[in-house]
Structure 1
């Protein structure tokens, strides 16, 4: 397995590859877990060649403290990738290698996909995400790129960005991988105490109950129930709960036929921000 740290070295290695045989790409910020492993495994199954990037992107963090606390476990990450796909190319650049002297984000028009939920609470977050993903996609030029559905809003925005920038890559969403108690796997989970990590099953259980209620109750009553459920649980502070059109991410007030819907939650536990979502129909 190759570990590459510069753009020029990556280009040189990719020039040796026949991309018609399939080049898959899995961009990550490191601190890899079983959710990432599932993306790498799928990429390896569907392509003859794969690139996995490990890069903590500063332009998508609104909170400098959050950036500083983001776990950096490069050696462990490389070993994990090798155990899953030992012929992968790992691209682990520095911030200066990616951004040079201009650590800033581009501005995109995401057709409103970035104005709700995460976008409402994290100003310019998705401009930062779009910037780094565009840079990496242009550099790697894969046939397919793989993203987890835990960050479903991010997935839809990256799909929109590739469409706007006319990038010839298929953006594929992969199912959420969960811990035994149902908590969506995330690098942030490592910052939770063992007790709260177990109790965080509450988030997924709330989503599942909301899905059950979606069959018989209206949207307003479901949202009221979720807010009350969080008010009664002192371990978790709800930031938002929304039910949206899965395609446009527009929050809804009532259901319509022939439209796919999804429920989204963001909440804090022990000052750690956790997100999750679930298809409702």
Structure 2
């Protein structure tokens, strides 16, 4: 596995690739969820490139950019064990110039939920991914379904910009107790980890209600909100795949989402129905 530090090194590596190229963009602090993305790319492509970059343009003022967990040695080892061909550690000064144009996320998809609470976040995501897609020119790129709104926005961006690229959605990976894996779980103490389980339990509550043929969105959200007490909840939402609110669950076309704080740590989870 090659370790690439500059864009010129990536371009040289890419020039010498034969066969298909898979790309797994990450912000590091890799866990089993990231490993599942890398392994899927390795299975489906001749070459797999993983980027590890804590992207400053997708953090809002006051968010955890400076304290976001970083572990270059451990991340490199995970990439190697998963079979990646190369790992790219870009430098922010090389990735971003002065007064460059913004790549804006589509307003209809990015103005609600995460977009409403974190204005500009998705613009930063689209901005850095455009750069990565142009540098690496992958055949496929792999994203987790836990960031459901982000995944939808990326799929929309690729379609609208006519990118010759397949976006591969990957299932949420959970702990044995149901907690969705997240790099930010490392912020949680033992007591907070118990409270964090309220998110996955609210998702399981929704799933059980739907299995019992309860499809009314208001009733499902009320039951989920009860499961989440006493957490500070940013939202409980039931939307279709275009992120439009719906009154009743539509099987095969619904995402149920929750965002809440456990102490000072903001966590998200969702269920694709």
Instruction: Tell me the TM-score range normalised by the shorter chain.
Output: over 0.9
Residue 87 (structure 2) aligned to one of 86, 90, 96: 90
Name the SS for the 1:198 alignment partner.
helix
* CA displacement at 1:60 relative to structure 2: 0.6
For residues 189-234 of structure 1, give each alpha carbon's deviation from its aligned partner in whole angstroms, at most 9, with x where no partner exists: 000002221332221111111122232251112222222333xx33
Residues 155/275 of structure 1: CA separation in 2 closer, same or farther (3 Å cut): same
Structure 1 equivalent of residue 232 of structure 2: 237
Structure 2 equivalent of residue 277 of structure 1: 270
The answer (yes or no) to whether the contact 1:59–1:104 under 8 Å persists in 2 is no
TM-score (ref. length: structure 2): 0.94
* CA displacement at 1:113 relative to structure 2: 1.2
In the alignment, the residues of structure 2 paired with residue 255 and residue 273 of structure 1 have an alpha-carbon distance, to the nearest angstrom, of: 26
Is structure 2 residue 198 aligned with structure 1 residue 176? no
Is structure 2 residue 24 aligned with structure 1 residue 26? yes
Name the SS for the 2:147 alignment partner.
helix
Structure 2 equivalent of residue 262 of structure 1: 255
* CA displacement at 1:123 relative to structure 2: 0.2
Residues 51/35 of structure 1: CA separation in 2 closer, same or farther (3 Å cut): same
In the alignment, the residues of structure 2 paired with residue 115 and residue 161 of structure 1 have an alpha-carbon distance, to the nearest angstrom, of: 15
Residues 200/238 of structure 1: CA separation in 2 closer, same or farther (3 Å cut): same
* CA displacement at 1:104 relative to structure 2: 7.4
TM-score (ref. length: structure 1): 0.91
Residue 70 (structure 1) aligned to one of 58, 68, 71: 68
In the alignment, the residues of structure 1 paired with residue 145 and residue 50 of structure 2 have an alpha-carbon distance, to the nearest angstrom, of: 18
Q: Which runs of 5+ in 2 are unaligned?
A: none
Residue 251 (structure 1) aligned to one of 239, 245, 248: 245
* More displaced stretch, 181-190 vs 195-204: 195-204
Is structure 2 residue 16 aligned with structure 1 residue 16? yes
Residue 96 (structure 2) aligned to one of 94, 99, 105: 99
- Computed over aligned residues only, the root mean square deviation of the Cα atoms, in angstroms, reads 1.7
